[in-house]
Chains A and B, each alone.
Chain A
Amino acid sequence: MSGVPSDTAPAVSIRHVSKSYWRGGQRIAVLNDITFDIAAGEFLALMGPSGSGKTTLLNLIAGIDRPDSGSLIIAGVDVAQLSESGLAKWRAANVGFIFQFYNLMPVLTAFENVELPLLLTSLSRRERREHVETALSMVSLTDRQDHYPSELSGGQQQRVAIARAIITDPTLLVADEPTGDLDRQSAEDVLSLMQQLNRQLGKTIVMVTHDRRAADRADAIMHLEKGEFSEREMVQLSENVT
């Protein structure tokens, strides 16, 4: 099945979102009146120079930050309106996180890292085990389940992180420079995996990257321009090679 959606309701609907930071008594506008949609099942790459606000925007979409104004309707929920604990619950159920530096717990094995988000569910121990085994096999790390992050390569760690991101079966995956710390081959593996999650499981993916080759794996690229707010149109790409 194709990950390129056309007629489904948008998974993410961003309306007039602004965000600024205060630093040294000075207001730094990072996002200014941003409005766009992300369709369900879309794999969107966010590009732009450093400091353009990509991470800030991603954090808003992921529900770990709040806009100064505007609304973010994600899977039908206005996340800006949720309470702190409501937002946490919402994230646990709806968002999978992939970070540049993997952000695995160093004291937990690959298996335990993947299992972590399931502790917030009511699944039994056995059910958790089954889920974790499935997720690890999807990222081809079954044989590494008892390894600690320090015993894994960067690419393997990122795959563990991806398994953790999909373990609760969220509809939305957010990835901030997921290949930024990886060598070319590992990056390719990770991107293929993400593409697969998008196409086979229908995950909506928002990926921040400044690597053009990584962005090319997405269905669409959106540019955040240097400076405060400018937005480019979505760039539809032709089907690319895996």
Chain B
Amino acid sequence: MYLLKLILANSLRHKLRSALTVIGLLVAILAFGLLQTVVGAWYAGVDAASASRLITRNAISLVFPMPQTYRDKIRRVDGVAAVSYANWFGGVYQEPKNFFPKFAVDHESYFALYPEYVLKPEEFAAFKRERKAAVIGRKLAQEYGFKLGDIIPIKGDIYPGQWEFVVRAIYDGKDAKVDTSQMLFHWDYINETVRRALPRRANQVGIFLVQLKNPNDAAAVSLAIDKTFKNSLAETLSETEKAFQLGFVKQTEAIVIAIRIVSFVVIFIIMAVMANTMAMTARERIAEYATLKALGFGPGFVALLIFGESLAIGALGAGLGIAATFPVAAWFAAKIGTLFPIFEVSRDTLLMQIAAGLVVASVAALLPARRATAVKIVDGLRHVG
């Protein structure tokens, strides 16, 4: 009680200095949290990816397709429970900056593989009935204000032409990790149109989605699938959805690493600032610490005062920073829209923020506390006069 009062009262002695330190910490912990959240958002696809699904693509590159007929052959591979397929559609809604993923999917089989997309049965039925129908995610609907029955025009690029899709269903995520920024429509509709204009490109599939009977068989089944198409025109490469997603992230890993580094640099800077503050504070109080020691208090008590003060200021600054992270992240998520499908402050980020606050406060107190405990009483007392 008494000690606590001493620590808190000491923290408030230089109100301006403490306030500035608290604000600095707030900003640093907030920035750290946001940057970590960006990193998290980058890996969100990997985190959400299922271990019980495989993705089979053309072995040369993702941009090369495979014949639709592979589907039946894949289905016959041991360990495969179900197969669906999808094509990356590309395309632009109004402006290139309005980016969101658009896939042409097999409307009959696709959603059975993705139980994490939660659909209302009547909406789903309506989607299946209509060739130009689309299913869109909740986040996408909110961002652009799409409603059921709306027509979404898309300017094609991979699939040239002006396309129109009618929103017939809106899916929610089973949990917060699920990407609800996508637009999905009938593969058949696209394929039919392509067949008329570019017959050579008809009946081609971008990726096959393979549901495993047992997630532990992922490696064996991948090998078996790829072996099936060995020496055929389009050889395949199968991997778990997680590995597939990770492959995407890998391409941009340098940016992620840079963001990570910056986030830690921010912490390092505030650590230096706070260490300076604490050093200044402790230097001013050398005579007080010497007095306490003369009265019989041990060096541990003096160290406790300094660490306590640093931790009190640190807790306030970091606490405010953490508290600010949630609304700011929410605001940021709303601003960037579907660019990051998932932009949420994770538990790990929160824990890292707490840890960063603790480390900053402790490290800042380290040298001042060492010095204050080491100063001889008589030298400390001479500081007064």
Contact = CB atoms under 8 A, between A and B. Distances in A.
A214 B214 CA distance: 95
A150 B376 CA distance: 27
What size tier do the contact residues of chain B reach? 20 to 34
A106 B287 CA distance: 12
Contacts of A88: 293, 296-298
B306 to A, nearest CB: 14
A91 B13 CA distance: 29
Interface stretch (B50-58, B126-134, B135-143, B377-385): B377-385
B384 A100 contact: yes
> What secondary structure prevails in chain A residues at the interface with B?
helix
Interface stretch (A9-17, A115-123, A198-206, A225-233): A115-123
Contacts of B293: 64, 88
Nearest to A108: B6
Among all A-B residue pairs, the 5 with the closest Cβ atoms: A92-B296, A107-B9, A103-B291, A64-B377, A65-B378
A97 interface: yes
Interface in A102-128: 103, 105-108, 112, 115-117, 119-120
A59 interface: yes
Nearest to A56: B378
Interface of A: 56, 59, 62, 64-65, 85, 88-89, 91-93, 97, 99-101, 103, 105-108, 112, 115-117, 119-120, 164
Interface string B270-297: 0000000000000000011001111111
Nearest to A103: B291
Nearest to A100: B385
Given A59-B378, A65-B377, A119-B2, A107 B13 contact: yes
A85 B295 CA distance: 12
Contacts of B5: 107-108, 112
Contact of A117 (B287, B295, B378): B295
Given A62-B294, A107-B10, A117-B296, 14 more contacts: A59-B377, A59-B381, A65-B377, A88-B298, A91-B294, A92-B295, A97-B291, A99-B381, A103-B291, A107-B5, A108-B6, A115-B2, A116-B295, A120-B295
Given A65-B376, A103-B288, A107-B13, A120 B296 contact: yes
Given A65-B376, A112-B2, A119-B2, A103 B298 contact: no
Contacts of A112: 2, 5
Contacts of B287: 103
Contacts of A105: 6, 288, 291
A28 to B, nearest CB: 14
Nearest to B297: A120
A75 to B, nearest CB: 15
A101 B376 contact: no
Most chain B beta carbons < 10 A, residue from A56, A88, A89, A164: A88
Interface string B7-18: 001101100000
A56 B377 CA distance: 12
B295 A106 contact: no
Contacts of A64: 293-294, 377-378, 381
B296 A91 contact: yes
Contacts of A107: 5-6, 9-10, 12-13
